[in-house]
Amino acid sequence: MSLNDTHMSDSIIETLCREAETLVNSKLQRPELTRGLTRRKWIRKDKGATLQEYPYDDLLFTSVIYASSFESTESYRAMEEWLTVDPVFSNAPEKAGYWGQPRTIIQQILSGSISVIDEKAFVDPAKAKSLISQIMQQLNATKVNYEVKARILGLELAVRKIPITDSIALVKLTDEEVNDRQRYVESFSSLDLLHK
């Protein structure tokens, strides 16, 4: 059984996306939930760093899809069940550990399928199906290539790249590349209200 072979899985994904979209939009309509809900990260600029704030949009969505109230919906449970009986996904926890658990796969699919435009959330079922297909291909792969990145604080390179072995290199990042990889400093001032 594959995602493209069954209308049932399409229906489950479409319903899941619709419910996630509805839930997020209901939270966006409540200003007491979104006021003050931001996340911040340090941004390098001109040999210094500043703490910049970013809008709550995807932080709100992430909080909603992690909420136990969403996980108890019929569409969520149906998707979770489908993932546990599908031949490819049923073995995902053994192959990918935490990343192969149904809950994590659902979160990946929904997070990668949302866009927020003018304070309205849209969850694209076609994008969700595409992400499921990509995950399915990764789980079926006989060989997996991956890239691991680590920062070495205090190291300054005079050149862009220094190869160490065929598969390991030190790479000098631009400020923009460093900023893109910078983790967010979450502000949870309103997140407790989201689960009510």
Q: What is the pLDDT of residues 93-130, one digit of tens each?
A: 998 899 899 999 998 898 888 887 777 888 999 999 99
Quick one: pLDDT at residue 193? 39
Q: What is the mean pLDDT of residues 185-191?
A: 51
Residue 192, pLDDT > 60, answer: no
- Ramachandran assignment for 68, one of left (phi > 0), alpha (psi -120 to 50 degrees), beta (any other): alpha
* DSSP codes joined into one string, 29-61: T-HHHHTT--EEEEEEETTEEEEEEE-SHHHHH
- Ramachandran assignment for 177, one of left (phi > 0), alpha (psi -120 to 50 degrees), beta (any other): alpha
Residue 177, domain extent = 3-194
3-state secondary structure of 79: helix
Quick one: pLDDT at residue 177? 87
Structure tokens at 14: 């479409």
The number of folded domains in the chain is: 1
Q: In whole numbers, what is the pLDDT of the chain averaged over residues?
A: 80
Residue 11, pLDDT > 60, answer: yes
Q: Predicted confidence band at 31 (pLDDT cuts at 50, 70, 90)? A: low
